[in-house]
Amino acid sequence: MEIIAYSVQADEQPLLRAAFDDRHELRTLAVFLNHDTAPLAAGYPVVSSSVNAELNVETLDILAAGGTKLITQRSTGFNNIDLEAAAERGLTVARVSHYSPFAVAEHAWTLALAVNRRLVRAVNRSREFDFRLDGLMGRDIHGMTVGVIGTGKIGECFARVAKGFGTELLGWDIAENPACLELGMDYVSREELLERSDLVSLHVPLLPATHHLIDATALALLKQDAILVNSSRGGLIDTQALVEALRAGKLAGVGLDVYEEETGVFFHDRSVEGITDDLLARLISFPQVLVTSHQAYFTRTAVDQIVDATLRNVDDFAAGRTNENTLVPRL
């Protein structure tokens, strides 16, 4: 089948090529999929998108008119896709239902450790041969109370690392994970978790019920010197409320791999023209905040799994089959 893949990263391209070239005709693009770039897909029955694609009604109309039959997204999240509109237009939609949970959990811990030990500030100083320790004091993770919001596969992996550090584990989710209970996790209310935790990490999907889960009220419950990490979805945090909390001197560290208005910014080079998003610029300016550009998933292991799942989505569609990745089945 003929496939056009949008927003393909340089490190991702050879993996896609190796998987697809002997099976399907693949065209890769660096640009993101939105209503402006959707016309490029005309004549391609299969479109592969990324998590920051804008698959709204307008984009879906263009794809459907151009002959697209399958949209296969190279991510677990799909809140960027209007599934109802896709179904109405006869578009089959698939995603990658799972890939290495260790990749995301390990990156979340990377962020937590980096902000706790002020690593970015330390590295920047050492590059200028300034080897003072002023302002670099962190805390032992050992003995901390760690709150895990969302204890699915990724949250469980995060909790296992926390257990290795020798922490007290608190969890919050709609259902208790037996594996987390075996680690000694105590499931409590969200409010209690926020009040008691020294470090809070978010691992829930973005749904209407979880949008701005961490708002001004939630931030007020956190300890003054707590560490907050989000490697899940940007919309889980009310960014304006977070900036106000930081301005008031709250939180010892914040590690963010996602941002609620990241589309059009993350995965792009904005070093020359800068950014016009005042909230993001303000966030990055705080010395205790570390922002990475949605790269928690970006390990060779995880990307290999994403590519393999995407290939299977295409093969199954061509054979008239569905699988666990199918969000909108073929009519």
The full DSSP string for 162-204 is: HHHHT-EEEEE-SS--HHHHHTT-EE--HHHHHHH-SEEEE--
Which residues are CB-neighbours of 18 under 8 A, at least 6 positions away? none
CA 79/CA 89 separation, integer angstroms = 18
- 27 part of the active site: no
The answer to whether the beta carbons of residues 59 and 18 sit under 8 Å apart is: no
The answer to whether the beta carbons of residues 51 and 81 sit under 8 Å apart is: no
DSSP run (H or E) holding 301: helix 300-318
The answer to whether the beta carbons of residues 284 and 291 sit under 8 Å apart is: yes
Alpha helix stretches (DSSP H) within 101-185: 101-116, 119-127, 153-165, 178-182
- 23 part of the active site: no
Q: Give the residue from 132, 162, 131 showing the smallest Cα distance to 149.
A: 162
**Annotated catalytic residue, options 12, 54, 156, 262:** 262
For the record, the structure tokens of 96 come out as 């990658």
Crossing angle of helices 153-165 and 101-116, in 10° steps, is 40
**Annotated catalytic residue, options 196, 203, 233, 312:** 233
- 233 part of the active site: yes
**Annotated catalytic residue, options 294, 300, 321, 324:** 294
**What positions carry a catalytic annotation?**
233, 262, 294
